[in-house]
């Protein structure tokens, strides 16, 4: 902790107070104003958390100006090149990369927790065939609280570990069951001899009437996408998991809250919205016309997959995914993919446009991811589910970090109240 102080003076009352400045291991210093109300009888006002650190964390670091993303200190580029999703999940949960023994035990535990309780699986029958898969996933994850009672003591480290492994293991099964329900196809049971993403593809695309062989290229591409989506510090869904979890609620309920928060188009839902947008634009010659609408403040259209609260530079994940699009599409023999061509052209034009330059708007993780999901045969309505599946590792890592902290407090923001002051009730005939 730094000895630096931040001095604050209320010009109306003349009262001056000093606040401690905390120094993170990297990144900007943070002023600790937790006693501000006691000292001055005032709250701070920061809608959208533009300048507020909501917690202390050791999981993920982003330098938005430099376009840097580190999981537990490791650059995303190195993890994307050398690691795999389950190893990254272990890293996020435990803080260090595993030894061979640790990793094989972890994988064994994940592979043994893939099945869903049959009653939970039958719950899908209650959903309408055209229910959005995110609605089903959020509901099923929340319902896990009603099934797995050996993980309800959040103050028991072993319970927390079982919960962590169970949700990471079952989330592909939950996602696949939502997909199969929408298709009207029979549910496919997990295969524990397959790797994490290969098993997911098997549950998505196998049918009982013929053999299905997972394409290793597809499994590898998906694994890379999962690494890139695994965590992103205090984003809206992770903050939702923390806020819900801070009440001491069942951990599955907290993760379900995160799934729901991720669904919005400003967050994880953007990957689905990007392909809708590309389809709407249709061809490269329509890009200028579309961008004119994006820049028109009277029009609510946004360039989906562009812009970020933290990155004021290229999102490093978008760069990796763009390269991956080239590679995966070439390997699939789809070198002239029209959606990819259009996205590249859109990016090129937007990055030269003063509107985007002035506001530092760059492609984010969602701009290109849907193109790969589509190439792998994953339908658009499942894109945000893919994001949720990968982000589960991050949500759980943050929940574990928060619950294990003896200083954990319920998150309870304050407000700037602008409603009516106290007034007297008037009987209906007198109004």
Residues annotated as part of the active site: 308, 366
C-beta closer to ligand CMC: residue 222 or 228: 228
Min. distance of Cβ 69 from ligand CMC in angstroms?
12
Q: At what angle do helices 85-94 and 100-111 cross, to 10 degrees?
A: 100
| Nearer of residues 175 and 270 to ligand CMC, judged by Cβ | 270
Q: Is 266 in the site for ligand CMC (CB under 6 A)?
A: yes
Give SS3 for 82: helix
Q: Return d(Cα 66, Cα 74) in angstroms, integer.
A: 15
**Range 137-196, binding ligand CMC (CB under 6 A):** none
Please give the Cα distance from 250 to 254 (Å, whole number).
7
Q: What is the DSSP string of 306-358?
A: B--SS-SS--HHHHHHHHHHHHHHHHTT-TT-HHHHHHHHHHHHHHTSHHHHH
Q: Do residues 187 and 121 touch, judged by C-beta distance below 8 A?
A: yes
How far, in Å, CA of 255 to CA of 272, rounded?
21
Q: Judged by CB under 6 A, does residue 384 bind ligand CMC?
A: no
C-alpha–C-alpha distance, residues 169 and 284, integer Å: 42
Please state, in angstroms and rounded to a whole number, the distance separating the CA atoms of residues 2 and 47: 27
The CA dihedral of 181, 186, 191, 197, to the nearest 10 degrees, is -40
287 near ligand CMC (CB under 6 A): no
Question: Is residue 312 at the binding interface for ligand CMC, with CB under 6 A as the rule?
Answer: no
Query: Is residue 306 at the binding interface for ligand CMC, with CB under 6 A as the rule?
Result: yes
Q: Which of 294, 325, 371, 375 binds ligand CMC (CB under 6 A)?
A: 294
Pick the piece of the chain touching ligand CMC (CB under 6 A) from 17-25, 144-152, 244-252, 267-275.
267-275
Please report the sign of the dihedral spanned by the C-alpha atoms of residue 240, residue 242, residue 246, residue 247. positive
Q: What minimum distance in Å lies between the beta carbon of 130 and ligand CMC? A: 24
* Residue whose C-alpha is closest to residue 247's, from 35, 431, 402: 402
Can residue 370 be called a binding residue for ligand CMC (CB under 6 A)? no
Interaction of residue 361 with ligand CMC, rule CB under 6 A: yes
Task: Name which position in 364, 369, 384, 392 contacts ligand CMC (CB under 6 A).
Answer: 364
Closer Cβ to ligand CMC, 219 or 228, answer by number: 228
- Scanning residues 19 to 78, which ones bind ligand CMC (CB under 6 A)? none
Under the binding rule (CB under 6 A), the answer on residue 303 touching ligand CMC is yes
Q: Which stretch binds ligand CMC (CB under 6 A): 6-14, 209-217, 363-371, 378-386?
A: 363-371
Does 326 interact with ligand CMC (rule: CB under 6 A)? no
- Site membership for ligand CMC, residue 316 (CB under 6 A): no
User: Under DSSP, is residue 395 helix (H, G, I), strand (E, B) or coil?
Assistant: helix
Residue nearest to ligand CMC (CB): 307
Q: Is residue 389 a contact residue for ligand CMC (CB under 6 A)?
A: no
366 is a contact residue toward ligand CMC (CB under 6 A): yes
Nearest to 164 by CA among 426, 339, 392: 392
Beta-bridge partner residues of 5: 20
- Window of 106-114, 356-364, 376-384, 401-409 that interacts with ligand CMC by CB under 6 A: 356-364
Cα separation, 238 vs 248, in Å, equals: 16
**By CB under 6 A, residue 371 contacts ligand CMC:** no
- Residue closer to ligand CMC by CB (options 262, 402) is 262
Choosing from 172, 190, 268, 394, the residue that interacts with ligand CMC (CB under 6 A) is 268
Give whole-number Cα distances, 295 to 51, 270, 349, 353, 366, in Å: 26, 18, 13, 10, 20
Residue in 57, 114, 235, 250 binding ligand CMC, rule: CB under 6 A:
235
Q: Which of 169, 304, 378, 403 binds ligand CMC (CB under 6 A)?
A: 304
Nearest residue to 85 (alpha-carbon basis) of 259, 222, 234: 222
Between 239 and 337, CB nearer to ligand CMC: 239
Which residues in this chain contact ligand CMC in the complex, by CB under 6 A?
235, 266-268, 270, 294, 302-309, 359, 361, 364-366
């Amino acid at each position: 902790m730094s000895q630096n102080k931040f001095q604050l003076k209320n010009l109306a009352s003349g009262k001056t107070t000093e606040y401690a400045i905390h120094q993170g291991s990297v990144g900007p210093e943070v002023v600790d104003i937790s006693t501000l109300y006691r000292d001055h009888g005032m709250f701070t006002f920061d809608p959208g958390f533009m300048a507020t650190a909501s917690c202390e964390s050791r999981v993920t670091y982003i330098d938005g100006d430099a376009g840097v993303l580190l999981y537990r200190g490791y650059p995303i580029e190195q993890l994307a090149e050398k690691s795999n999703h389950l190893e990254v999940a272990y890293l996020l949960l435990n803080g260090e990369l595993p030894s061979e023994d640790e990793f094989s035990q972890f994988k064994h535990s994940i592979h043994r927790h893939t099945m869903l309780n049959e009653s939970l699986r039958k719950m899908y029958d209650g959903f309408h065939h055209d229910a959005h898969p995110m609605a089903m996933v959020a509901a099923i994850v929340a319902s896990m609280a009603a099934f797995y009672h050996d993980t309800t003591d959040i103050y028991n480290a072993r319970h927390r570990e079982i919960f962590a492994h169970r949700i990471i293991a079952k989330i592909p099964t939950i996602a696949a069951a939502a997909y199969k329900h929408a298709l009207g196809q029979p549910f496919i049971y997990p295969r524990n001899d397959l790797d994490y993403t290969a098993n997911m593809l098997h549950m998505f695309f196998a049918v009982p009437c013929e053999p299905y062989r997972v394409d290793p290229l597809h499994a590898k591409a998906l694994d890379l996408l999962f690494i890139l989506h695994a965590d992103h510090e205090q984003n809206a869904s992770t903050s939702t998991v923390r806020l819900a979890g801070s009440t001491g609620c069942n951990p599955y309920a907290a993760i379900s809250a995160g799934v729901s928060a991720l669904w919005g188009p400003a967050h994880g839902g953007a990957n689905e919205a990007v392909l809708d947008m590309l389809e709407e634009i249709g061809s490269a010659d329509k890009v200028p016309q579309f961008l004119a609408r994006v820049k028109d403040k009277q029009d609510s259209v946004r360039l989906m997959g562009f812009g970020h609260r933290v990155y004021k530079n290229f999102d490093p994940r978008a760069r990796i995914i763009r390269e991956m699009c080239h590679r995966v599409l070439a390997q699939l023999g789809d070198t002239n993919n029209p959606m990819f061509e259009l996205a590249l052209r859109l990016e090129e034009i937007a990055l030269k446009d003063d509107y985007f330059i002035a506001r530092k708007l760059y492609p984010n993780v969602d701009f290109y991811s849907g193109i790969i999901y589509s190439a792998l045969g994953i339908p658009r309505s499942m894109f945000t589910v893919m994001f949720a599946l990968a982000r589960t590792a991050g949500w759980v890592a943050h929940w574990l970090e928060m619950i294990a902290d003896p200083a954990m407090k319920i998150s309870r923001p304050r407000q700037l109240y602008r409603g009516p002051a106290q007034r007297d009730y008037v009987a209906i005939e007198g109004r």
